[in-house]
């Protein structure tokens, strides 16, 4: 038996899939680990009782049950990543509540595997409305069409633009469940900006899909201020999600620039509060002198003055409190 932790093997089982059906009982397993081949189902035990092997069949997603005698090392079932198999057992219906399921099988290249899970059969509410899904391929055109028809029937609105997309819906897998269509989002351009990176070299336009006012204009203004001298040096580092804007600028040749916009958005979110000391050191900016005492971006000096006024109000409030 392969030394694969039971915690990982249990990921093969689709929790909530256990249910009574016309033919008996069924549940599903899905390959969430790695590409493999299913070569033999050795045993299934439900609540400690073995299920006869001749009463078990496997549905590959086409609605046709495949008997176990048709599965062997010489005739395996392809079990690639993300494929779902429905296991059907011709036994008496299970009562409502929790049930323990033990599964033992063989596969290539992992050999003999065995795991145990606990699932439950819940009472089915026939009045509940379900969005159409296909456990075998939920991004096929047929099931997408069913969801589009379901949305139109349920809402009473005809889908005119949502159904028109130009990419393979399978590309949305693991990023959008119950895929039904697309929505149009305004797209603006900023730039051009010179990129000197590991994979990109040259001048590029920056497409920004957004509904946030002034966002595209702000980025485009920075590019315009560079007048062809602003460039971005990029290197691939660690991959992670960052939810706060951050940037670092180098002074242009022959110029000294006062950079007050580095964490401007973060600064505006941090106003002094009564009873809390104002720690500017946590908001340090790269401040260089600027000839003519003009700000790097219009409105930055005004916002900086607003920070100063907020500090004065805080000082006055503290003085009044200490009296």
User: Is the pTM here over 0.85, yes or no?
Assistant: no
Distances (CA, A) of 306 to 167, 183, 293, 299, 313: 48, 39, 17, 10, 10
Beta strand pairing status for 97-108 and 36-46?
antiparallel
Binning pLDDT at 50, 70 and 90, where does residue 130 land? confident
Distances (CA, A) of 62 to 79, 130, 137: 15, 21, 10
What is the per-residue pLDDT across 66-119, written as a single tens digit (0 to 9) for each? Answer: 899 899 999 999 999 888 899 999 999 999 999 999 999 999 988 899 999 999
Q: Look at residue 2 in the predicted model and tell me its pLDDT.
A: 56
Residue 63 has pLDDT above 80, yes or no: no
Tokens 């500090």 correspond to 311
Planar angle of CA 138, 144, 149, nearest 5 degrees: 140
Alpha carbon of residue 117 to chain centroid = 27
Start-to-end CA span in the chain (Å): 79
Binning pLDDT at 50, 70 and 90, where does residue 313 land? low
Q: Which of 36-40, 219-223, 251-255 bottoms out in mean pLDDT, i.e. has the lowest?
A: 251-255
Identify whether the C-beta of residue 58 lies closer than 8 Å to the C-beta of residue 70: no
Helices (H), the chain: 6-9, 141-155, 215-226, 264-268, 300-322
Planar angle of CA 88, 94, 95, nearest 5 degrees: 155
Identify whether the C-beta of residue 119 lies closer than 8 Å to the C-beta of residue 87: no
Identify whether the C-beta of residue 165 lies closer than 8 Å to the C-beta of residue 147: no
Angstrom distance (rounded) from CA 87 to CA 93: 15
The residues facing 209 across adjacent strands are 187
How many other C-beta atoms can be found within 10 angstroms of the C-beta atom of residue 121?
18
What is the per-residue pLDDT across 149-180, written as a single tens digit (0 to 9) for each? Answer: 999 999 999 999 999 999 999 999 888 999 99
Of 3, 2, 64, which Cα lies nearest the Cα of 39?
2
The larger pLDDT score, comparing residue 235 to residue 58, is at: 58
């Amino acid at each position: 038996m392969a030394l694969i932790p039971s915690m990982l093997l249990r990921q093969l089982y689709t929790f909530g899939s256990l249910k009574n059906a016309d033919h008996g009982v069924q549940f599903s397993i899905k390959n969430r680990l790695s590409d493999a081949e299913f070569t033999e189902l050795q045993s299934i035990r439900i609540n400690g009782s073995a299920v006869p092997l001749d009463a078990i069949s496997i549905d590959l997603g086409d609605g046709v049950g495949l008997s176990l005698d048709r599965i062997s090392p010489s005739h395996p079932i392809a079990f690639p990543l993300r494929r779902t198999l429905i296991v059907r057992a011709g036994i008496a219906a299970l009562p409502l509540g929790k049930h323990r399921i033990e599964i033992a099988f063989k596969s290539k290249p992992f050999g003999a595997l065995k795991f145990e899970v606990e699932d439950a059969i819940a009472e089915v509410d026939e009045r509940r409305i379900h969005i159409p899904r296909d456990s075998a391929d939920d991004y096929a055109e047929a099931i997408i069409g069913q969801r589009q028809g379901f949305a139109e029937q349920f809402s009473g609105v005809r889908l005119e633009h949502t159904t028109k997309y130009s990419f393979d819906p399978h590309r949305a897998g693991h990023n959008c469940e119950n895929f039904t269509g697309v929505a149009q989002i305004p797209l603006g351009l900023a730039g051009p900006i010179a990129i000197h990176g590991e994979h990109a070299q040259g001048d590029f336009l920056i497409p920004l899909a957004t509904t946030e006012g002034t966002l595209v204009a702000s980025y485009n203004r920075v590019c315009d201020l560079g007048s062809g001298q602003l460039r971005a040096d990029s290197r691939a580092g660690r991959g992670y999600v960052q939810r706060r804007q951050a940037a670092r600028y180098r002074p242009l040749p022959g110029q000294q620039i006062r950079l007050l916009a580095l964490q401007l958005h973060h600064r505006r979110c941090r106003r002094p509060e009564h009873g809390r000391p104002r720690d500017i050191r946590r908001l340090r900016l790269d401040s260089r002198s600027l000839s003519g005492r003009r700000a790097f971006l219009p409105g930055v000096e005004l916002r900086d003055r607003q920070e100063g006024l907020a500090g004065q109000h805080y000082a006055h409030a503290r003085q009044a409190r200490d009296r």
